[in-house]
Amino acid sequence: MAYQPQFKVKATYMRGGTSKGTFFNIADLPKEAQEDSAKRDKLLQRIVGSPDVYKKQMDGMGGASSSTSKAILVGKSDVENHDVDYYFCQVAIDKDFVDMSGNCGNLSSAVGPFAITEGMVDNVPQNGVCCVRIWQANIKKTILCYVTMENGIVKEMGDYEIDGVAFPAEEIELEFVEPVDPSEELFPTGNLIDDLEVEGIGTFKATMITAGIPTVFVNADAIGYKGTELQGDINSDTEALARFEKIRIAGALKMGVMKDASDALTQQHTPKIAFVSPAQDFTTSSGKEVKAGEMDLHVRALSMQQLHHAMMGTASVAIGVAACIPGTLVNNAAGGGDKNTVTFGHPSGAIKVGAALTENNGKYTVEKASMSRSARIIMDGNVHVPAGTMD
């Protein structure tokens, strides 16, 4: 057979918040990838560099972590009052699957700038703030992304700093509108706190919530931690990671997010497992000393079976909502009582999140959750893909 050269696909590599991913205008994907989801997944996997038995993604765009093994598809939206549709693809590093069960809140901040740059948004102001109305197609929710424009182009550089990102950039405000539909259960079990029984491990107090992304919260001290741990304290401990996965699966089954434990083999992105503790002094992964008075509580969360280096954006939404509801483990860790914002510590520093809620006869409705991120284009052009990838 004659040699077949690689083919090219137009792409943009972007950072959004504390994540990075390869962005695609859906219209630029090969026709077969647009029409066949299996071929699309093969294409995205090969571009990112998965599955890689060495877990390095050396032969692709991925960075060998849950924060960087991501592909993002964006196209003009047919949904009323929305500019673009946004599909988030969490590409497994060493396994053969693409998880589209949830969203990436951090990369949501890059969807707005990408959509504007690609000409997908109408009536963009020359100067000022452009609100990009995003339809998150994975979870069928609305995200409002507020992007600053200057002289007709996206203003990327500024002085807004994010713990977990080495350089400042322009602030991008995000609003997650009705992250839980009023007809859905914010707390699927009907309880603010449950006794979660995990076979072979024990029974733990847990708050299980669906805002942002389904998340299982447990107390740090109940599982043998202080709550100030960094990646190195957990990610090298295979027994600890296995325990976290068992707790995550038990919570998923109780929430109804999974029907069977075997679902965890191909559903690693949702739900998340996180542990909380009261505010206390700690040292970040960069060596920065942070005092207890600078935050309300600590939260550590795992993504794709690894402790995250900062905090996932969707989990930040879950934290913000849970913290603002008196009686949850997250609210208790933050000191209890009524709140509309909290600042929580994570391995790289701290972040402020908020939520607007209404309560009626004990049932909470989340009007919106909010946080700020930043984003910028790192590279654009073409990714080269080996021939036969989609065969």
User: Which residues does the annotation mark as catalytic?
Assistant: 104, 312
Give the number of other Cβ atoms within 10 Å of residue 35's Cβ: 10
Contact 374, 13 (CB under 8 A): no
What the block records as the tokens of 117 is: 């740059």
∠ at Cα 73 (175, 33), nearest 5°?
160
Rg of the chain taking only CA atoms, in angstroms: 20
Tokens describing residue 377: 């284009």
Backbone phi and psi for residue 162, each to the nearest 5 degrees, phi listed first:
-120, 130
Cβ atoms 358, 368 nearer than 8 A? no
DSSP H or E stretch at residue 141: strand 141-150
Q: Provide the angle, in degrees to the nearest 10, between the axes of the packed helices 105-117 and 313-323.
A: 120
Residue 140: burial class (beta carbons within 10 Å; 0-12, 13-18, 19+):
exposed
Cβ(253)–Cβ(216) below 8 Å: no
Per DSSP, which regions of 210-321 are E strands? Answer: 215-219, 272-278, 282-283, 289-290, 297-303, 306-307
Give the integer Cα–Cα distance in Å for 170 and 176: 19
Which residues have a Cβ under 8 Å from the Cβ of 301 and sit 6 or more positions away? 215, 272, 273, 274, 275, 307, 308, 311, 312, 315, 346
The H-assigned helical ranges of the chain are: 31-35, 37-48, 105-117, 231-234, 238-255, 313-323, 329-333
Residue type, 388: G
Kindly state the tokens that stand for 37.
């989801």
